[in-house]
Structure 1
């Protein structure tokens, strides 16, 4: 952005007034020295890298995103916003942002406005070149991520794209719709979230790859403890970008932290991917799921691999779910096994009398054809219940196990 800053500073010196450039979402890209002339909105834009939402909503209502002509924007005292001129920044048929100039106390004259329009044209050309450079950089970055998390050799090429660091981690962001839908716009928003985090981080410390509702992010960190913090930031930023997409949620999975990326990061990637997948299936795990926090699910995830977990649910549980009150019986069984067969603790957890619990347990044994006194049976059922949860806990399963 050095060329961009040079153009802004040159125009500010020529006009003897503050100049700023925002992108299409009213986020600050470059700005000249403002001194005391900066109003409240410009100060907020500089400090937070974007204008307040109520201001951007009002500016959009003025038709700024569609126009190519300069627009005189009136002062708004309630926003602490001085009068300004907005010169849209385009390159050919592509809009890139807005050039802003304070228009008081002395409004710009025709010659000054013409100089501003010439500068906007130069800014558009520079932003177009910058976009091409970024696209090339993102292509190299995607290649680097694939190299790092793929079936690599001893020295994957992607390792050179990361700065030397104390620790390395992989975070997988998974976006999912409650009805299983997919939209290309989700990838755009995930990519924007990763890009926002990347821009705020040191160079070569955040590499990202976004495909089909999944973002794979490789991080170079100052220490192992930073992985969870960075993962939480990525998840929250992605969720913010998806806020206007009804029915979507996003979960971050975090693999084990590594001391080096030289041998590739395939293993932590697989862990992060499994953690994210479980996070979507098991909301109780939270929006950021660490591989090391999965407990018994970690073992099952290793054993199941890429197979659908519902295919592995034992026949006894399938039979139980097939009854009219199957889900209630399964949840009773789940509580009983989670409380290690303690009838009193189970009854208290279910808010039922122990005699009612015993009645349910006898019915479970009769319907499923099992003996809950058997340790092997209890183990099989508990593993089956975890597999059922991993598969989304449906109300019914194919009796044949398909």
Structure 2
């Protein structure tokens, strides 16, 4: 009997003894196995069993109760708009690691102490089975993670060794980098959350997905996938990890461009690493950023961060001027319009005379020639660098 079969028998027996519907979900509230119905089923359970997924709203509601941090059973309140009744939820843990969630519908809170004790006992057994199941796959996962990290290593020699000893695969690959934004969270806790979402995604994709997690940093490599296929998956991974950590928005992600096979995977990985540095920093960027959407920030993000002393003195004088806000807005519009007076005036809703006056002020303060390509580049790069450190400017999704 496989571990999956043993889990199914366990919850079937428990459901028969209780006369209630029982289900085991993974830590992201995605169904692993379910008993038959006992007349107590609600709309959500029926939908989850039929579709093998409760849906993102239901998962978010359950995780919002903090179940990923529970150490014992508790009640997840129902929600009429989701077709969901109250449920008893028991975290399935082994050695502190969250392996899944056992749920029993209990709309009227009528479970007796004896039934609760029985549920607790079976939950311990289920956790042990799930732990054994996880350990059975751990050697394969460790070897795969080691291969992936060597495949994207900065050293070309190490990459070549990995390719020589690895599988022969053709087709495009897309790399993804995930990082936990809040460094106050323990690495161990962050790693568990990243492991869960990466493995869950890998199991549910039609594409081959290799994953690795280390020190609050997750890496995934999708084989045979286009960037468009990966985007939605990565957004769900980042959101799910944030919910598991009970810190929404804590996980950022970058997506590289497709690369031609495993031998070029490192290129997509480097791009993903740059993109994740732009997540939440590039004006307009959300928690998930694609390399292809970075534009000029793709270059700027590769420069050292948080070093304002590296900015040119000419730009610093402008940034510290008493009319800096207005003049920087004018400079930004002028450069983004390619130096076109008409387009700049239209963008700022300014009369051209007023625009010329402001540009003359910028020239006088900086001592730079706005008709000179090198001077323009210096000012434009300075604007991009300062924008990365200005969170108040982040308002709209990138590319909109």
TM-score by length of 2: 0.72
When Rg is computed on C-alpha atoms for both structures, the one with the higher figure is 1
Equivalence for 2:3: 3
Corresponding position: 1:197 with 2:201: yes
CA contact (8 A) 1:159 1:264 kept: no
Equivalence for 2:176: 171
Q: 1 CA distance for matches of 2:233 and 2:130?
A: 28
Equivalence for 2:281: 281
Equivalence for 1:238: 238
Q: 1 CA distance for matches of 2:276 and 2:191?
A: 16
Offset, 1:317: 0.6
CA pair 220-373 structure 1, distance change in 2 beyond 3 A: closer
Equivalence for 2:398: none
> In the TM superposition, what whole-angstrom CA distance separates every residue of 1:152-211 from its partner, at most 9, and x where no partner exists?
43544379777945221111234436xxx6423555444443233223224842413253
Q: 1 CA distance for matches of 2:139 and 2:229?
A: 29
CA pair 156-345 structure 1, distance change in 2 beyond 3 A: same
CA contact (8 A) 2:11 2:23 kept: no
CA pair 362-254 structure 1, distance change in 2 beyond 3 A: same
Q: 2 CA distance for matches of 1:188 and 1:90?
A: 12
CA contact (8 A) 1:206 1:219 kept: yes
Equivalence for 1:255: 256
3-state SS, counterpart of residue 173 of structure 1? strand
CA contact (8 A) 1:172 1:269 kept: yes
CA pair 85-322 structure 1, distance change in 2 beyond 3 A: closer
Residues matched between the structures, number: 378
> In the TM superposition, what whole-angstrom CA distance separates every residue of 1:115-155 from its partner, at most 9, and x where no partner exists?
97775554332122124345545533432331121124354
3-state SS, counterpart of residue 256 of structure 1? coil
Moved more, 372-381 or 355-364: 372-381
Q: 1:364 aligns with which of 362, 365, 373?
A: 362
Q: List alignment gaps of at least 5 residues for structure 1.
A: 396-402
Offset, 1:250: 4.7
Q: 1:66 aligns with which of 52, 66, 72?
A: 72
Offset, 1:326: 2.3
Offset, 1:241: 3.8
Equivalence for 2:152: 149
Q: 2 CA distance for matches of 1:319 and 1:118?
A: 70
Offset, 1:30: 1.8
Equivalence for 1:399: none
CA pair 259-242 structure 1, distance change in 2 beyond 3 A: same
CA contact (8 A) 2:3 2:133 kept: no
Q: 1 CA distance for matches of 2:12 and 2:377?
A: 73
Equivalence for 1:386: 384
CA pair 82-166 structure 1, distance change in 2 beyond 3 A: same
TM-score by length of 1: 0.71
> In the TM superposition, what whole-angstrom CA distance separates every residue of 1:224-281 from its partner, at most 9, and x where no partner exists?
xx323313321243124425856845543222312311x3622221111112223432
Q: 2 CA distance for matches of 1:123 and 1:28?
A: 14
Equivalence for 2:130: 127
Q: List alignment gaps of at least 5 residues for structure 2.
A: 394-400
Q: 2 CA distance for matches of 1:393 and 1:100?
A: 41
